[in-house]
Amino acid sequence: MSKSPMPLYVGDLSALACNLRSQLQESESVPGHVEMLNLLVKAGGFRNYQHFKAQYDARRGLDLPEQEYAEINYKLVKRIVRLFNDEGYLTHWPKKYSERVICLWVMWSRISAKKTYTECEISELLEQQHLFEDHALLRRLLVDHQLMTRTADGREYRRVEVRPPAEAVEAFKHIRG
């Protein structure tokens, strides 16, 4: 058996559970490793493990982008979305660190990539994104969290191109900006 990860995505978890449960009830003993793999992929809609692996290999052979369904903390996303008003302004600075980080990602998403900003320009841009009037805090935290770089003298700022966490990407979809 291959040790390389082959993710199994299921559209309906309830149907998977029902199907898997009925297959387990029909078996006479506790299934072994290979039998369990077959039960799982059958419950997920494939004929057997070989069919699943062939589909997986074919998808990789076509160089299609990997399906990435990172677990998203939707409760956190909901709390983040509530921090922004209907116009997309951050109404107040959150107390929880996890919420602060995602708010910084939202600010990061509104900064143009590959553009160099002066301190005045980045301050003005950040001032237009929130209602609590502390653009210096946001500017400093964006640098501290390595979402932006600045020169030693603080004259030039640039956005750092990194992949945002799944919660931030989900928040981007719900916050006007």
Measured N-to-C along each axis, helices 97-109 and 74-82 cross at an angle, to the nearest 10 degrees, of: 70
Name the class of domain 74-174.
Answer: mainly alpha
Mean predicted lDDT score pLDDT of the chain: 88
Q: Domain boundaries in the chain?
A: 13-61, 74-174
Q: Please write the tens of the pLDDT for every residue from 6-45.
A: 777 777 777 778 888 888 888 888 888 888 888 888 877 7
Task: Over range 44-50, report the average pLDDT.
Answer: 83
Task: Over range 131-159, report the average pLDDT.
Answer: 94
State residue 171's pLDDT score: 95
Q: Which of 39-48, 60-69, 159-168 has the lowest mean pLDDT?
A: 60-69
How far apart (Å, rounded) are the C-alpha atoms in residues 37 and 126? 51
How far apart (Å, rounded) are the C-alpha atoms in residues 38 and 96? 44
Residue owning tokens 């770089």 = 149
146 CB neighbour count, 10 Å cutoff: 9
DSSP string, 136-163: HHHHHHHHHTTSEEE-TTS-EEEE---P
How far apart (Å, rounded) are the C-alpha atoms in residues 28 and 16? 20
pTM given for the model: 0.64
Residue with the bigger pLDDT between 48 and 91: it is 91
State residue 130's pLDDT score: 94
62 CB neighbour count, 10 Å cutoff: 7
State residue 63's pLDDT score: 64
